[in-house]
Amino acid sequence: MVPSTESTGKDWGKVDLPTSRNEIVYDGNYYDVTDFITRHPGGKKIIGYFTNSGEDATSAIQQFHARSFNKVQGMMKSLKSRPVTESPDEPFDKATREKNKALTEDFTKLYMELKAEGFFDPSYTHITYRIVELILITVLGLHLVTQYSSLLAKSVGVFALAMGQGRALWVMHEGGHYSLTGNVKIDKMIQVYVSGIWLGWSGIFWRRSHSLHHAMANRLKRDVDMETAPFYLSNIKVLNDPVKENNFLLRNQVELSPFMVILAEFFVVVGVSVAALLKYRVGEEFLALGLHFVAAYYIGFWPWVFSHWILIVYFYVNLILPHTHLPVTDQPTHWVEHGLVHTCDVEQRPWCDWWMGYLNYQIEHHLFPTMPQFKNKLIVDRVKALAEKHGLPYQVYSYKEAAVMAFRNVCDVANQLRALSKSKTLKNE
């Protein structure tokens, strides 16, 4: 088997059109996906990630396509296949392959049990609560910002708008995973409109890029959430050349973070979203993003700016807690093992469930991305038992512990870059 072409440099995760046959491992067989890569609805990058010899995609395919699994099974049957056999280019020895096989079997068994018990069924009561909540908070913010002249009222209104956007972010996130209604078309529609109207983000772009994060969280040259320079850097290993790419912004990312987050937000709202509109040309996105900027004009420029600033601080503070302080890797491993090693849960309590939009159960979410997220807390003990059985970590930290570790990590990266800069200066002298 010949794996897909891998690139180096800044084209991280690039999957070029293959010049030879490309295969993925699924359910004990190699499947030839050479002619399917460019037709994959989720984009060619994510399927290209699994065309490395021996890197089993069984669990990932199972979970990413849980809402359309029968269709995926039919598609897989249409591809040329051959049994997995030992070969010199296998990255795993026989013992590791047997261990991975046992993990796949136990994970699939757990998934089938959870599915049979209704854990993947939607709750329309919960969906209604989530949407009504974000609308009411937003309406309160709009009323205070536009109907009152006092600075206090407008300030409270701006904060309410930001919290409305925050609640919208969590709803948008679930829609992008098809874990709201369970109907892919309806969830996509909800995600596009909520993302566009409340956040000013391209829902389609977010959905595709976020899938790359879920495919291989904290995997170098794979996880898009790690590619945040020059706004922020969570690990120096992300840089292709830490000496050449070292810059003032990253060396001082702690002190400059209040300013860099809003620049990052405007980059997403203006740059990324406009580029996505031009690329995908989806009418619903034009309408949703258009309504966002109509609302921005209605509330005024500065309330719009400050609400986005509060939103992005809220978002990034919670975003960095489950991953950034954990190890990174460039090595292949079992998808379930990868999710357990490079992800942690945060403060498994009701107040944090609300504050983090249920993403404090990040381990469960990464293993079962299409499960309605408010149900993640109900399967904690079973996931923990799976990890324990296979000698894998199950990491849980309090909100304070996770925040301290994440902050220290940011400081450590900045200090490493400063040390490199100082060393370079001394060398040049």
Distances (CA, A) of 45 to 38, 202, 224, 325, 371: 9, 19, 11, 26, 24
Residue 305's pLDDT band, with cuts at 50, 70 and 90, is: very high
Structure-derived torsion over alpha carbons of residues 273, 190, 346, 353, reported in degrees to the nearest 10:
140
- 67-71, 122-126, 159-163, 317-321: which range is least confident on average? 67-71
Q: 370 phi and psi, to 5 degrees?
A: -95, 0
- What's the whole-model pTM score? 0.88
Q: At what angle do helices 283-299 and 124-147 cross, to 10 degrees?
A: 40
User: How is residue 15 annotated by DSSP?
Assistant: B
Mean pLDDT (the chain, rounded) = 87
Q: Which of 64-78, 207-221, 312-326 has the highest mean pLDDT?
A: 312-326
Q: How many CA atoms lie within 13 A of 246 on its CB side?
A: 19
Residue 270 has pLDDT above 80, yes or no: no
344: burial class by Cβ within 10 Å (0-12, 13-18, 19+)? buried
Residue 138's pLDDT band, with cuts at 50, 70 and 90, is: very high
